[in-house]
Chains A and B, each alone.
Chain A
Amino acid sequence: MNRAHVRRIAGAASILLALMPIGAHAQSISLTDQEGREIALEKPAERIVTIPMPMASGVIAIDGSADKLVGMNPLSLTALEEGILGRIFPNALSITDAVTGTDFVPNVEALAAADPDLVIQWGGRGPEIVDPILNAGLNAMLIVYGNEDNARTYMRNVATAIGKPERYEAHEAWREEVRQEIAEVTESLGEEERPNVLYMGRSLSDITANGAANSYQNWSIALAGGRNAAAELEGNQSINREQIAQWNPDVILLNSFEPELDVSWVYDDPILSLTKAAQDKRVYKMPLGGYRWDPPSQESPLTWMWLAELLHPDLFDFDLRAEMRDAYRTLYNYELTDADIDGIIWTSFQGDGFGYDQFAAK
């Protein structure tokens, strides 16, 4: 503890003397995570374990490679296998997922065997899932989920920890630029001009939807110029078909988590097929790219563009395919083919949906 402390002070002093910011050759890194904990690293993290699901692909994107990832959540691995990232980074598929259960409780033995210099874990969910990491003598960085600000903060923290803050700065500039571009158009929309959008977090076993509070989907829908049809709910709750008929949403968004779910689930349902969304063919499954497009991730600006184009095709003129190609080049150093893009945005079963013609390959 003491030595690290001394080294940190020494590091800070040398920076002051040199009168220059932390460069690539600066060794020690210190940062404060979203739970206000101080983290000191002797050198940029090179072996990272990610326990929250979205962070595995997040680390890959922020680093631009899968080389620093040495362990992840089993659900992150599922997302890699189902999505395109497993094909872009085939070596990522052999990274261990034994370091944690899907309930985020770390397996200390497997964690120690992975020999990480940084473990990323959820914050705000109690010490039971954090203490085992600390007791094993490992560095933990806690991240807090929920809104765009939180997402930006933890991505910046990860970038700082791996010594690539400049890569994150460029990413944030893109995020902010896209957000502003969309917000400038949608901010002035009146309530009547905003379609009622229902995002269903689950569909197959039980139907759930998100209320307005603390929901990233609610935020994305508002940004893209829609209204959350389920705003009256508290958090993520079970609902029934009758309630959906009562809300009668203009647009239905299905989650990308359930692999067997596609839009025919709505079109074949005796009740849901009579909603305005189904009648107008405005039912879409959230795309699955480098990560699922429902929660915040490095690909969120693409989600916003996709959703804005679907809610207001007349107001926006993004070239989604070109934007996706640029983003994947920057994030993963990968050239997307048209077939890749069709796979990500599910053209096979929702290509004939309202507004999807604008995403068609030319």
Chain B
Amino acid sequence: MSAASEGQAAGQPTWRWTRSTLTFVILVALLLVSLAVSVCVGRYAVPVDRAIAIIWQSLHDPTAMPEAIDERIVWLVRVPRVILAVVCGAGLAISGAALQGVFRNPLVSPQVLGISQGAAFGGALAISAGIWGFPLLALVFVFGLSALALVGAIARIDGRTQIVTVILSGMVVGALFSAFVSLLQYFADPNSSLPAIVYWLLGSFATATWERVLIATPGIVVGLIVLWSLRFRLNVLSLDEAEAKSLGARPDLERWLIFAMVALVVGAQVAVSGIVGWIGLVIPHACRLIVGHDHRKLLPASALLGAAYLVTIDTLARTLTAAEIPLGVLTAIVGAPVFALLIRQHYREKGAG
């Protein structure tokens, strides 16, 4: 709705108004359907009406400990897992969209810039030291942000930063932090901390609890709100430097604010569910095809579609077989071909235009 009214305020033609309203209605519906399906299916058979009744009942008294096994499975296993998937999916997708705007490059994602690897190192360090919960989140965030700062420092040559040097620096820093993670794994206790690190790096929502929801959600929600409130500035930042300055932007300050928010979102996500790739790359691209390049629409659309996508993928990961399918495997299997198609589509349109 808000995106729609902005469209009107910007004086866009009426048919665009209705079309983007319809788009957002569909995206919201997609998210709601994926949520509803996800809480109703699982390896433990709970009838749909029973699942809905359980959630309804628990919403009235959220702190009460449910007694029956189906109540506990729905309320203590599925619901927190679905919530985590929603906020992480939304956060990763909006981060990808914001970074791509800032760098004016559609190939940028938290992973390409080394943020994920830096965050992973922070987390692996915490696990090696036996630290969990909020301190782990803090370490993940600090290292995610320092990886990004390092990329910024390396890429800034003679006061200027070129996109290609940023991406190359990101790969360098990412490789460096990956090596640090390998080093930690080498020294980790193979019976306790090593499997914890390996499992956590693979990415999974299998260990979702309400506690983890409380750990991750505040950071991601703050990041989502700040990034969304910067949607106008992102439109300016995605112009070239001189143009942005002439429009009164302070590109450096705003860029760093966006970077910090991306590090916060990615850090919070990595802290609770390990590295989940591809979302920040594929979803913003898909959304650009649907709603165009305007960040006022792109950001909310990415958040909605990212949330729906990750919930769906995670539902598949936990229900297809008796064993959990690693999340990263599924996001890559779906993400890579879709991304390839999007690239072809993108450049074919460009060529035609």
Do A and B assemble together?
A: yes
* Residues in A lying within 8 Å of B, measured CB to CB: 74-75, 78, 101-102, 202, 204-207, 230, 232-234, 237-243, 245-246, 257-260, 270-271, 274
Complex Cα distance, B322 from A245, in Å, reads: 12
Query: Is B323's CB under 8 angstroms from A274's CB?
Result: no
Partner of A271, one of B45, B72, B200: B72
CA distance A202 to B189 in the complex (A): 14
- Alpha-carbon gap, A205 to B200, bound state (A): 8
Please indicate the chain B residues that have their CB under 8 angstroms from the CB of A274 in the complex. 69, 72
Given contacts A205-B200, A232-B322, A237-B324, contact A242 B77 (CB under 8 A): yes
- How close is B60's CB to chain A, nearest CB, in angstroms? 19
Which B residues touch A245, using CB under 8 A? 43-44, 69, 73
Closest-by-CB residue of B relative to A202 is: B195
Report yes or no: B77 in contact with A230, Cβ–Cβ below 8 A: no
Known A-B contacts A239-B322, A243-B43, A246-B44; the reply to A75 vs B69 at CB < 8 A is no
CB within 8 Å of A: which B194-240 residues:
194-196, 199-200, 204, 206-207
Minimal beta-carbon separation of B178 from chain A (angstroms): 17
Is B57 on the interface with A (CB-CB < 8 A)? no
Which 4 A/B pairs are nearest by Cβ-Cβ distance?
A: A205-B196, A237-B323, A206-B199, A238-B324
Query: Once the chains bind, are A238 and B192 in contact (CB under 8 Å)?
Result: no
Given contacts A230-B322, A245-B44, contact A240 B77 (CB under 8 A): yes
Q: How far is the CB of A231 from chain B (nearest CB, A)?
A: 10
Q: How far is the CB of B338 from chain A (nearest CB, A)?
A: 25
B191 near A233: Cβ-Cβ < 8 Å: no
Which B residue sits closest to A256, measured CB to CB?
B191
> Which of A102, A242, A271 sits near B318, CB closer than 8 Å?
A242
**Which residues on A sit within 8 Å (CB–CB) of B77?**
240-242, 271
Question: B200 to A240, Cβ gap below 8 A?
Answer: no
Measured between alpha carbons, how far is A234 from B228 in the docked complex, in Å? 45
**In the assembled complex, which residues on chain B have CB atoms less than 8 Å from the CB atom of A246?**
43-45
Partner of A242, one of B65, B73, B195, B204: B73
A-B contact pairs, 6 of them (CB 8 A): A75-B191, A205-B196, A206-B195, A206-B196, A270-B65, A271-B72
B251 contacts the other chain (CB 8 A): no
Contacts of B47 in A (CB 8 A): none
- Chain A residues with CB under 8 Å of B189's CB are 78
- The residue in chain B whose Cβ has the minimal distance to the Cβ of A237 is B323
User: How far is A207 from B69 in the complex, measured between Cα atoms in Å?
Assistant: 19
B135 within 8 A of A: no
Q: Which residues of A contact B78 (CB under 8 A)?
A: 242
Known A-B contacts A232-B322, A233-B323, A271-B72; A242 and B192 likewise in contact (beta carbons under 8 Å): no
Question: Are A239 and B73 in contact (CB-based, < 8 A)?
Answer: no
In the complex, are the beta carbons of A78 and B191 less than 8 A apart? yes
Contact of A242 with B196 in the complex, beta carbons under 8 Å: no
Given A75-B191, A206-B195, answer yes or no on A238-B206 (Cβ-Cβ < 8 Å): yes
Q: How far is the CB of A91 from chain B (nearest CB, A)?
A: 23
- When distances are taken between beta carbons in the complex, the residues of chain A under 8 Å from B190 are 74-75, 102
Contact assessment for A205 and B73 in the assembled complex, using a CB-CB cutoff below 8 Å = no
Asked if B76 is at the interface (CB within 8 A of a chain A CB), the reply is yes
Task: Provide the bound-state CA to CA distance between A233 and B65, in Å.
Answer: 32
Q: Are B192 and A259 in contact (CB under 8 A)?
A: yes
- Determine the chain A residues whose CB is within 8 A of the CB of B65 once the complex forms: 270
Q: Is the CB of B192 within 8 A of A258?
A: yes
B195 touches A240 (CB 8 A): no
B-side interface residues, number (CB < 8 Å) = 29
- In the assembled complex, the CB of A260 is this many whole angstroms from the nearest CB of chain B, namely 7
Most chain B beta-carbon neighbours within 10 Å: one of A75, A239, A259 = A239
Closest to A275 in B: B69
Interface-central residue, B44, B73, B322, by most chain A CB under 10 Å: B322
Residues of B within 8 Å of A259, CB to CB, are 191-192
CA–CA, A241 and B76, complex, Å: 11
Given A240-B43, A271-B73: A206 and B322 interface contact (C-beta under 8 Å): no
Contact B324 A240 (CB under 8 A): yes
Given A237-B324, A238-B323, A271-B77, 7 more pairs with CB closer than 8 A: A78-B191, A206-B196, A238-B324, A239-B322, A242-B318, A259-B192, A274-B69
Asked if B42 is an interface residue, CB under 8 A from chain A, the answer is: yes
User: With A202-B195, A205-B200, A238-B206 in contact, is A271–B322 under 8 Å at CB?
Assistant: no
Q: Which of A243, A258, A271 contacts B76 (CB 8 A)?
A: A271
Tell me how far the C-beta of A239 lies from the nearest C-beta in chain B, rounded to whole angstroms: 6
Instruction: Please state if B323 and A239 are interface contacts (CB–CB under 8 Å).
Output: yes
Residues of B within 8 A of A258 (CB): 191-192
- Interfacial chain B residues near A75, Cβ < 8 Å: 190-191
Known contacts A232-B322, A238-B323, A240-B77: A270-B72 contact under CB 8 Å: yes
Q: In the assembly, what is the distance between CA of A233 and CA of B186, in Å?
A: 29
CB distance from A10 to the nearest CB of B (A): 46
Q: What is the distance, in angstroms, from B346's C-beta to the closest C-beta of chain A?
A: 36
Chain A residue with Cβ nearest B65 = A270
Question: Shortest beta-carbon distance, B64 to chain A, in Å?
Answer: 12
- CB of A240 within 8 A of CB of B191, answer no
* A202→B42 CA distance, assembly (Å): 22
Report which of A74, A78, A206, A230 forms a contact with B206, defined as CB distance below 8 A.
A206
Nearest residue (CB) in B for A238 is B324
Residues of chain B in range 35-79 having any CB-CB distance to chain A below 8 Å: 42-45, 65, 69, 72-73, 76-78
Contacts of B322 in A (CB 8 A): 230, 232-233, 237, 239, 243
CB atoms of A204 and B69 under 8 A apart: no
What A residues does B207 contact at CB under 8 A?
206
- A240: which of B69, B206, B326 is its contact (CB, 8 Å)? B206
Cα–Cα, bound, A241→B75 (Å):
13
User: Which residues from B are CB-within-8-Å of A240?
Assistant: 43, 77, 206, 318, 324
Q: Find out whether the CB atom of B69 lies under 8 angstroms from the CB atom of A271.
A: yes
Q: Determine the chain A residues whose CB is within 8 A of the CB of B323 once the complex forms.
A: 233-234, 237-239
Give the complex CA separation of A87 and B72 in angstroms.
Answer: 45
Contacts of B324 in A (CB 8 A): 237-240
Determine which residue in B45, B72, B76 has the highest number of CB atoms from chain A within 10 A of its CB, and name it: B72
Instruction: Give the CA-CA distance A75 to B204 in the complex, in Å.
Output: 27
Q: Select from chain B the residue with minimum beta-carbon distance to A261.
A: B192
Contact in complex: A242, B43 (CB < 8 Å): yes
Closest Cβ of chain B: how far from A81's Cβ, in Å? 11
Q: How far is the CB of A201 from chain B (nearest CB, A)?
A: 10
Q: How far is the CA of A259 from the CA of B195 in the complex (A)?
A: 13
Q: Contacts of B200 on A, CB cut-off 8 Å?
A: 205
Q: Closest approach, in angstroms, between the C-beta of A200 and any C-beta of chain B? A: 13
